[in-house]
């Protein structure tokens, strides 16, 4: 749903609810609409992905619990990749909390999600969680690497641990998002606090202001969500 459609619905006082929006989309809604008769809900108090609705419209968000047959530690990409492989649209999927073996979906894709029987070669059972208890915190792996520049293609090469030409292919084929937006500009400069998502690789956060080595290369500190 576009911002224009949402704005028209609000102006006409029509009840409306969106699919899950990303953090950048939510910021855009708050910045451009500035409506008092809308609310944001994501299924738990620290949700990052949320649905937007007028106050007179119910929001249905379904928490799904993952019960592995054998003890297994799943990652965010493990769970998201499995859901996407079932042709469940990304905007129907809310937050994924691997630490809690929990994810959130819309009612429209409930049946599709519940037929999943395997994640990362582990047999699982999925069930609707009535009152999920969430201990929410992000986990990271921390890295420090030397790069030749802060160009997007160089950074993607480093984060994905691949060749530069492969990094360019990932960028061109919409595998890469910078701050939740696709970029096809190889030369785009990556900055402090930028978030970079690479499909099938992971999500990364540039943690500190890069500094130069004596040879003129750049020391990059970043962390990877796990």
Whole-number pLDDT of residue 35: 66
Whole-number pLDDT of residue 164: 96
Q: Which position has the token pair 């990556």?
A: 190
Angle, CA of 4, 181 and 154, to the nearest 5°:
160
Whole-number pLDDT of residue 25: 86
Q: Which residues, listed in sequence order, are joined to residue 218 by a DSSP beta bridge?
A: 147, 212
3-class SS of residue 102: strand
211 band by pLDDT with thresholds 50, 70 and 90: confident
- Identify the burial level of 181 via C-beta atoms within 10 angstroms of its C-beta, where 0-12 means exposed, 13-18 middle and 19 or more buried: exposed
3-class SS of residue 115: coil
Q: What is the pLDDT of residues 110-150, one digit of tens each?
A: 999 999 999 989 999 999 998 776 666 667 889 999 999 99
Whole-number pLDDT of residue 155: 96
In b/e form, how buried is each residue of 145-179, taking b as 16+ CB within 10 angstroms? eebeebbbbbbbbbbbeeeeeebbebbeeebbbbb
- Rounded to the nearest 10 degrees, the angle between the axes of helix 3-11 and helix 23-32 is 40
Q: What is the pLDDT of residues 36-61, one digit of tens each?
A: 678 899 988 888 899 988 777 788 99
């Amino acid at each position: 749903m576009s911002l224009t459609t949402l704005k028209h619905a609000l102006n006409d006082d029509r009840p409306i609810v969106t699919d899950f929006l990303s953090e950048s989309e939510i910021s855009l809604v708050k910045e451009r609409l500035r409506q008092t008769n809308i609310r944001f809900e994501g299924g738990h108090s620290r949700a990052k992905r949320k649905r937007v609705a007028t106050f007179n419209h119910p929001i249905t968000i379904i928490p799904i619990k993952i019960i592995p047959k054998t003890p297994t530690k799943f990652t965010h990409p493990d769970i998201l990749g499995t859901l996407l492989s079932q042709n469940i649209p990304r905007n129907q999927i809310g937050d994924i909390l691997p630490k809690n073996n929990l994810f959130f979906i819309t009612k429209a894709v409930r049946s599709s999600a519940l037929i999943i029987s395997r994640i990362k070669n582990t047999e699982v059972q999925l069930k609707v969680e009535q009152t999920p208890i969430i201990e929410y915190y992000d986990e990271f792996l921390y890295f420090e690497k030397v790069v030749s520049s802060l160009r997007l293609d160089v950074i993607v090469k480093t984060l994905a641990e691949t060749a530069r030409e492969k990094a360019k292919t990932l960028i061109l084929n919409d595998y890469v998002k910078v701050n939740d937006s696709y970029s096809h500009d190889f030369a785009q400069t990556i900055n402090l606090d930028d978030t970079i998502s690479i499909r099938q690789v992971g999500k990364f956060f540039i943690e500190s202001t890069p500094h130069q080595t004596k040879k003129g290369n750049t020391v990059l500190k970043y962390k990877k969500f796990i």
